[in-house]
Amino acid sequence: MHDHEKQFAIEAIRAYLQLRPHSADTLEGIHQFWIRWPGFPPSPQVTLAALEFMQQIGELQSLHIHQRVIWRSASSAT
């Protein structure tokens, strides 16, 4: 995985949530619909690394609902 792909994903997720602060989705949904990849998208592992990084710094949280993991802004929990 390239750091620039991860950084691209982080910036795209931040921009998406800035416009839609109460959004929540799965890894697959975020990878496919929140990020406008230039050209062919990289592996969803890039998006997962971005989500995990954003969770570590307190920007996102993950919710485990049944068999799914849903990601959302940490600020939408308050």
Extract the tokens encoding 26.
Answer: 């799965």
Model pLDDT, residue 37: 96
Q: What is the pLDDT of residue 77?
A: 59
d(CA 58, CA 42): 25
pLDDT band at 42 (very low <50, low <70, confident <90, very high): very high
Assign domain 3-77 one CATH number from 2.60.40.420, 1.25.40.10, 1.10.10.10, 3.30.1490.390. 1.10.10.10
* Residue of 40, 31, 27, 36 lying closest to 68 (CA atoms): 27
Q: Where are the domains of the chain?
A: 3-77
- pLDDT tier at 66, thresholds 50, 70, 90: very high
- Averaged pLDDT score across all residues of the chain: 94
Give the global pTM.
0.92
pLDDT at 1 over 60: no
